[in-house]
Amino acid sequence: MKKSLLGLLAALSMSLNTLAAGLQHVEPPNWWVGMRDTSLQLMLHGPGIADAKPTLAPYPGVTLQGSHRAASPNYLFVDLDIGPEAKPGELLLDIAGTTLRYPLLARAPGSAAREGFGPKDAIYLVVPDRFAQGGRFSQGGMKEGLDRANPGGRHGGDLAGMRQHLDYIAGLGFTQVWPTPLVENNGATYSYHGYAATDFYKVDPRFGTNDDYRAFAAEARTRGVGVIQDIVLNHIGIGHWWMADLPAPDWVNQWPQGYTETHHARMTLQDPYAAPSDRQRFTDGWFSHGMPDLNQRRPELAAYLTQMTLWWIESAGLSGIRTDTWSYSDREFLTHWSARVMQEYPRLNIVGEEWSPHPAVVAYWQRGKRNHDGYVSSAPSMMDFPMNGQLLAALSEHDGPHTGLTRLYEGLAHDFVYPDPAKLVLFDGNHDTPRLFSLLGRDVGLTKIALTYLATTRRIPQLFYGTELLMESPVERDDGRVRADMPGGWAGDQASAFTGTGLTREQREMQDWVRRLFNWRKHTAVIHDGALMQYAPLQDCYVYFRYDAGHTVLVALNKGGQPVELPTARFPERLQAGDRAHDVLSGRDFAIGTTLSLPARGALILEIRR
């Protein structure tokens, strides 16, 4: 607490000093001693400072390497080296006759060795504006106010609301929480979305403050829940303060013919026949009129984005990063960015969003992949969009040689293309996709089968908030309704996920079922790191085993409308008549006989005991 207070006081001192110096921005706002890479580049922004010649008061272990300007007269980039012998304190930089006091802080004990999320974890995805309002809504000087009646407006969920319901998240069995972006998005409309940053270093005041975010992350850790921050490297919001005064014209990708939008043809990056102009349009085209595309080939911008990422990890005590629109960023930048993050935090995790149905495309970006073109990534994880698509198809199609449950079987059979398939994040849905329950025709049984697979296959599972309540949406994309308010998150709500008040019987049963499933997973190591053996689907049923030297778990999925008796002789490698079984979902214990009874539209999870 004392160190934290000193850090806050130092940051306040810096803030007051920068105002006195005429500086409008000093970023990063502070740094730490003891980083593996000792380089630090400050971006200073203020009227006419580009030609200033900064000097550094003597500080043991710290040297001023130089400074330079870009095209704008209002930016100065200052390069420092924070050597291993440097101690926490305050750097004194003279900028055009005014002293800038810059805080150097001590890293939290064990910071570099922090453990990121992995197969032992289950992730709960939250859209903060739609989860819960814990404080009184404050517009905080932002352009868009409160309009809860508008599906695309701000509804007022905040950090205080998420913090108040951490017990709910942990109680469901989840060990990581991923909020969609919390940084300032000062747009006139649709600002709750979060993916159009207008200030990378500031939590949006409608959610709270930077200190509120740090307090949320700290309290989550006390409950055994890590925080994954959603960071956007590819683009910013049109209202970002840079856009009023770009450091250089090529800070964002600009096109001679005027506005050019990406065509989202991500295959161009691996396509051996792709036209170079198509590749350029994919990576350099703007995401939308409101989202300018950043040019990470610009060295200062690459350094800025890398340091910003490290700053949030260190400042908030994060367990991982989720990176939006992964492949839209410059490839070489991603190589260096991911390597630097993992250099500072070797056990952290980074999961990238590559929205492709093709395993080979997703595998291209994962750490350890030996690519045909020599491309190297250091990102340990990727979102498993291919398997998400296979899961939805498997439960929606009739079974055939290449359809229905065979899609799950063949989907896992493609794991040979991944360097580490267990590190992929498999999800039921997210903020950009229709709700699972709706896509499966409002079928509770199929929904439970999907979540059983999510929790037991060889992946890191991620659940979208409200799935446990059978929340619905249109089956076509409708972002506002997909991201509906969590029941009970607002005073006056008639139903509450958090207390159970007003929920239907089906919702309460589903919530209890999810709680039982994921709490069991949380304490079952063989599901975290055991091997997997699968059997080809028959009779609308699919069976696989998770096992290690001392434990075996059988998972059987029956999507058909009738109960099925499975002959146990079909699984001689993993099952024997006379084995004892514990039914995880019902609690029943019994001896394995010649057949296994699978309920219609149901799942069976058995712990096998010899």
pLDDT digit string, tens, across residues 488-540: 999 999 999 999 999 999 999 999 999 999 999 999 999 999 999 999 999 89
Question: Where do you find CATH 3.20.20.80 in the chain?
Answer: 123-523
Q: What is the mean pLDDT of the chain?
A: 95
Q: How many percent of the chain have pLDDT more than 90? A: 95
Give the integer Cα–Cα distance in Å for 585 and 563. Answer: 17
pLDDT digits (tens, 9 = 90+) for 171-195: 999 999 999 999 999 999 999 999 9
294: burial class by Cβ within 10 Å (0-12, 13-18, 19+)?
Answer: buried
pLDDT at 21: 53
What are 80's two structure tokens?
Answer: 């420092």
Q: At what angle do helices 299-316 and 210-222 cross, to 10 degrees?
A: 50
Q: How far is CA 528 from CA 105, 151, 321, 552, in A?
A: 36, 38, 20, 12
In 364-504, which residue ranges form alpha helices assigned H by DSSP? Answer: 385-394, 406-413, 436-439, 444-456, 479-482
Residues with Cβ within 8 Å of 267's Cβ and at least 6 positions away in sequence, in order, are 274, 356, 358, 361
pLDDT digits (tens, 9 = 90+) for 68-92: 999 999 999 999 999 999 999 999 9
Question: Where do you find CATH 2.60.40.1180 in the chain?
Answer: 531-609
**Side chain identity, residue 328:** Y
451-459 average pLDDT score = 98
Give the integer Cα–Cα distance in Å for 428 and 482. Answer: 13
Catalytic residue among 353, 399, 485, 540: 353
123-141 average pLDDT score = 97
Q: What is the rounded end-to-end Cα distance, in angstroms, of the chain? A: 51
pLDDT at 13: 45
Which SS3 state, helix, strand or coil, does residue 279 take?
helix
**Side chain identity, residue 437:** F
pLDDT digits (tens, 9 = 90+) for 281-320: 999 999 999 999 999 999 999 999 999 999 999 999 999 9
For residue 17, pLDDT over 80 is answered with no
Which pLDDT band holds residue 12 (cuts at 50, 70, 90)?
very low
State the pTM of this model: 0.95
For residue 150, pLDDT over 90 is answered with yes
pLDDT at 22: 84
**Side chain identity, residue 569:** A
CATH of domain 2-105: 2.60.40.10
Q: Is 324 a catalytic residue?
A: yes
Task: Find out whether 329 and 234 touch, Cβ atoms under 8 Å.
Answer: yes
Strands 541-547 and 531-538: antiparallel
Question: Where do you find CATH 2.60.40.10 in the chain?
Answer: 2-105
Catalytic residue among 121, 284, 314, 324: 324
For residue 3, pLDDT over 50 is answered with no
Side-chain-side CA neighbours of residue 177 (13 Å)? 29
CATH architecture group of domain 531-609: Sandwich (2.60)
pLDDT at 575: 95
Q: How far is CA 544 from CA 65, 236, 450, 532, in A?
A: 58, 44, 14, 7
- Taken in order 180, 182, 184, 187, is the CA torsion positive or negative? positive
Yes or no: domain 123-523 corresponds to CATH 3.20.20.80: yes
For 437, phi then psi, to 5°, come to -60, -40
